Amino acid sequence: MEDKGQIKKMMIIQSKATLENVYACFVLANGARMEGIEAEIFFTFFGLEAIHNKKLDHLHVATVGNPAMHMPTLLGGLPGMEALATSMMKKEMEKIDMPDVREFIEILSASGVKLWACKLAMDMFHYNREDMIEELDGILTVGDFYKQGAGEGTHMLFI
Amino acid sequence: MDKIISGKNISLTDEGFLKDFAQWDKDIADALAAENQIVLTPRHWEVLTYIQNEFKNDVPLSIRKIGKSGIVDIKEFYQLFPVAPLKTATKIAGVPKPVSCI
């Protein structure tokens, strides 16, 4: 093959809105653009919170069901525990020059990353276009999103 | 590896970055830009000069920092250097490849 299987486009499906998952998605999308690779994100189900204007500034780290937190599940479930872990993580993020979620969305959009909301999930949560970030490129069905991914060298990633 | 660029013998890394900034000059920048299908305009030069100054001051470069530079916003940065802008711009500016993921 002439292009040696080079990645040309990353289609990322973001189905979760825990802070660590949203950052993983955003870093991967931005990193693709930095390498000259196209990138598009399809926000679905709870992933929609990452592009919901009133929710995206309040995303949390998951402290329950996350063994890598090294915190007993019972303790992780105590009130305030998620907020504490989140504020600790945000402090560490700042140290390594990571933008917050809102600024990261601005960077992605300016970098040419296409941001899509899943129609089915929008209907399910009763969200409207006006509830979502201005940078949103549109509301798509799964079929539309697959069409966006047409072409050689496209990879899909589910987060 | 060594390569002749605009008549001079230049040491490059495997990815085509200059090993020694002292070997850089404006003709080399023009030649490297042409290799990346870019014709340098005064706007490009403002960005390249900024990148070189940051390098001289040992400031690590990232897309986020470029966006906050006051020289260029991220959208225009991608317009000036459409494919892998930070990598391409630093290459043309003759400074090492940035290690940032953001």
ipTM of the complex: 0.87
Side-chain-facing half-sphere of A34: CA atoms under 13 Å = 22
Residue A2 located in a structural domain: no
Cα–Cα distance, A139 to B8 (Å, whole number): 53
Residue B90 pLDDT greater than 80, yes or no: yes
Instruction: Name residue, tokens 């003759």.
Output: B94
> What's the number of domains chain A is made of?
1
Q: Does A73 contact B at CB distance below 8 Å?
A: no
Residues A35 and A9: beta-carbon distance below 8 Å: no
Candidates B74, B100, B101; nearest CB to A107: B74
Residues of A in contact with B78 (CB under 8 A): 33, 110-112
- Asked if B101 is an active-site residue, the reply is yes
Dihedral pair phi/psi, residue B52, rounded to 5°: -65, -40
Residue A78 located in a structural domain: yes
Whole-model pTM?
0.90
Q: Residue A88: which pLDDT band, with cuts at 50, 70 and 90?
A: confident
Q: At residue A153, what is the residue type?
A: G
Strand segments, DSSP code E, in A44-127 are: 114-118
For A122-157, the pLDDT digits (tens) are: 999 999 999 999 999 999 999 999 999 999 999 999
Q: Are strands B8-11 and B2-5 parallel, antiparallel or unpaired?
A: antiparallel
Residue A101 located in a structural domain: yes
Judging by beta carbons within 10 Å of its beta carbon (0-12, 13-18, 19+), is residue A87 exposed, middle or buried?
Answer: exposed
Q: Which domain holds residue A56?
A: 9-148+154-158
For A101-128, the pLDDT digits (tens) are: 999 999 999 999 999 999 999 999 999 9
Residue A144 located in a structural domain: yes
Residues A107 and A99: beta-carbon distance below 8 Å: yes
Cα–Cα distance, A73 to A76 (Å, whole number): 5
- Residues listed for chain A: 159
